[in-house]
Amino acid sequence: MSKEQFIKNDTAKPNLAILLDCPLALSEVARVMEYGAEKYDRKNWSKCDQLERYESASLRHQMSYHNSDHIDDESNLHHLAHAVCSQLFLLEMELQKKHKGETHE
């Protein structure tokens, strides 16, 4: 291979840029996270040791959306963005535990 040829060994890495295919949804989820950071504190969610609380929160927002209520009254943000945010928190905490060698009971 010549030095003029581009080489990037990233084939086994996730293409995070694909998330940018949903810019409106990602922006709304970011707004929910900013709302929570201002209301509680940034990364306050990571201090929760009762994952069921985020499961319940996600389901409450999903149920509101299912019942044709799309905007959360308190935050004025989309219920699905709140639900996705709670799911992201759950997933992040689960993956962090896995990374540390712990398991979810």
Provide the domain limits for residue 93: 16-100
In a domain, 3, yes or no: no
In a domain, 11, yes or no: no
Write down the pLDDT at residue 58.
Answer: 98
In a domain, 54, yes or no: yes
Write down the pLDDT at residue 2.
Answer: 67
Contacts of 103 (CB under 8 A, 6+ apart): 97
The predicted-structure confidence for 40-99, as pLDDT tens digits, reads as follows: 999 999 999 899 999 999 999 999 999 999 999 999 999 999 999 999 999 999 999 888
In a domain, 85, yes or no: yes
In a domain, 10, yes or no: no
- Note the pTM of the prediction, 2 decimals: 0.85
In a domain, 36, yes or no: yes
Write down the pLDDT at residue 39.
Answer: 96
Write down the pLDDT at residue 4.
Answer: 83
Between helices 79-100 and 23-39, what is the axis angle to 10°? Answer: 80
Domain total in the chain = 1
Separation of alpha carbons 36 and 16, rounded Å: 24
